[in-house]
Structure 1
Amino acid sequence: MDTKRVLLLLCGMDLLLVVMHLGGYFFLFLKPTGYIIPLAVNFLVLTVLAYRSTRFRKRWTIAGMTVILPLLLVHSFMVLLWDYSYTKIDSPWNKQSVVIEYRHFSLGETTYQYNFYKTRFGLVGKLLDDQSIKMVIQGTEHPGLDAEGILGMESAEWITENTIRFPAWQGMKEVHLGDSELGIIGESESIRSEEEIITEIEAFMEKTKKRENGYTIHINGNQLVIRYDEAADESWIEVTSEGDKGPIPQQQCSRIVPDEERGYYMLEECTHRWEYPLFPLSSE
């Protein structure tokens, strides 16, 4: 293979990585080391070409080496400084997965940073840049958990095909994968926006006060139905899910109330326990 073809292949690889990066896509196997491997490949290829090329081409390859080497050293230092760890959680519905990139650092207080990538086959991931989670914990408040425990990774629960819920130390956190931008995840039903779901919940709360028997909504895999017994003059909310796989077990609850302190709409006075978080008040 001649020098020109090698350079074209090298430029093609670099261009692909740049375009993917700008679009928020990444080869997941490169994430632990960042771009150290591609930069090292560039440097090694240019080193070989410098010894095999004519004087004119050698000048250009050496110039490229002098640019890449500092980038390689600086980037290697940054990767070492970031010290990210990675965990993949597979969805029970299909081959879709979420990859969690996380780290923590302390400056009088401990900051935990979590980034999420959606992927189906584990090769290419799309950064969910609007779903990142950061939790800051004061030294006096620290519960003695590691980064996995702070987010509650071991107890993570897929509540829909596109939503995973974490019982984090600072309250439940949800990550919404949304419609696939990878073009590889086919969805059978449309994804409602947060505003639409909140509007449905608010309307349901009003219908509950009016005891409108049979009024139904679906939230995070659970079906909520208003029931009213006219003879007993009693009403309740019937909670069910297909195959009893929803995040809230099948039971009856009395009402939905917004809890500003927790940041959730809560189902209260339920059969199995007093309350269940239903949906965040907002994503902010």
Structure 2
Amino acid sequence: MKNDFNTISLRLKLLLFLLLFAFISDTILMLLSFNDYHFIFDTSGWNTPILINIIFVILIFFITRKKIIWLPAVLLFFWLIANHFGFVIMDWHYTEVVSPKGTETLIIKYRQATLGESHYWYEFYQKSYSILMKKHIYDDMGFIIYNDHLNARQALGIDHANWLNEEEVIFESAIGKKKIILY
């Protein structure tokens, strides 16, 4: 009987630890998101928290040995995979533009859709720390060009970025100059 009490106590402690850890990690991820920070591998900003929470839920199911609750976790997991494939179809590309001295890195997320005219979309991120990047919300841009056969890199002029200093870069895009000031 004493052995059962210790096992339950250990499970309860582990469960409380996981719940506390999940709460702390969700709080940190929300604070990062509120300040427009994203993981380099997840620019959508919400795939990582969902994946972390699915892992916590699965661990909690293992600890509590509840089998009926597996269905929501499995559905969430497959929803995340299906949603990821939706973003693959949208065909976003990423490139890095490094400052002359190598102290700053601008990450550009871009895509193009062409059907008679070409639509171009660009999002700009500044690399921060090792796995985080800060989104430049007000610098996002999109434009349409008619009867031109430029790819998205050429339309923005990514390959010919002009660094004024370590914090300022100018792109000679097809519709004019685009200046990005890093924080």
TM-score by length of 2: 0.76
Match of 1:102 among 110, 114, 120: 110
Is 1:39 the counterpart of 2:50 in the alignment? Answer: yes
* Deviations, residues 3-32 of structure 1 (Å, cap 9, x unaligned): 22122222322222222122211121323x
SS at 2:18 equivalent? helix
Residue of structure 2 equivalent to 1:162: 167
SS at 2:54 equivalent? helix
Residue of structure 1 equivalent to 2:15: 3
Residue of structure 2 equivalent to 1:52: 63
* Deviations, residues 130-185 of structure 1 (Å, cap 9, x unaligned): 111212112xx21x2221111111110111332101121222222122xx3xxxxx
Q: Note the 1:200-279 alignment, pairs <5 A.
A: none
SS at 1:130 equivalent? helix
Please report how far the alpha carbon of residue 45 of structure 1 lies from its aligned counterpart in structure 2 after TM superposition: 3.5
* Deviations, residues 87-136 of structure 1 (Å, cap 9, x unaligned): 11111245122111111123542211111112344522211111112121
Moved over 6 A (4+): none
Residue of structure 2 equivalent to 1:220: none
SS at 2:164 equivalent? strand
SS at 2:109 equivalent? strand
Cα distance, 1:14–1:63 mapped onto 2, change above 3 Å: farther
Please say if residues 151 and 167 of structure 1, whose CA atoms lie closer than 8 Å, have aligned partners that are also in contact. Answer: yes
* Deviations, residues 17-50 of structure 1 (Å, cap 9, x unaligned): 222122211121323x764454334324322421
Please say if residues 96 and 121 of structure 1, whose CA atoms lie closer than 8 Å, have aligned partners that are also in contact. Answer: no
Q: Which has the larger radius of gyration?
A: 1
Q: Letter of the 2:132 partner, please give it.
A: V
Match of 1:79 among 67, 83, 87: 87
Cα distance, 1:51–1:93 mapped onto 2, change above 3 Å: closer
Is 1:147 the counterpart of 2:152 in the alignment? Answer: yes
Mapped to 1, the partners of 2:47 and 2:168 lie a distance apart of 33
Q: Pairwise CA RMSD of aligned residues?
A: 2.9
Mapped to 2, the partners of 1:136 and 1:44 lie a distance apart of 42
Residue of structure 2 equivalent to 1:282: none
Residue of structure 1 equivalent to 2:5: none
Please say if residues 101 and 114 of structure 1, whose CA atoms lie closer than 8 Å, have aligned partners that are also in contact. Answer: yes
Residues matched between the structures, number: 171
Q: Letter of the 1:21 partner, please give it.
A: S
Please say if residues 112 and 151 of structure 2, whose CA atoms lie closer than 8 Å, have aligned partners that are also in contact. Answer: no
Mapped to 1, the partners of 2:130 and 2:117 lie a distance apart of 34
Please say if residues 99 and 116 of structure 1, whose CA atoms lie closer than 8 Å, have aligned partners that are also in contact. Answer: yes
Structure 2, unmatched stretches of 5+, are 1-12
Mapped to 1, the partners of 2:74 and 2:168 lie a distance apart of 46
Residue of structure 2 equivalent to 1:90: 98
Please say if residues 153 and 166 of structure 1, whose CA atoms lie closer than 8 Å, have aligned partners that are also in contact. Answer: yes
SS at 1:160 equivalent? coil
TM-score by length of 1: 0.52
Match of 1:114 among 119, 122, 138: 122
Is 1:173 the counterpart of 2:178 in the alignment? Answer: yes
Residue of structure 1 equivalent to 2:24: 12
* Deviations, residues 63-83 of structure 1 (Å, cap 9, x unaligned): 863784475256424422433
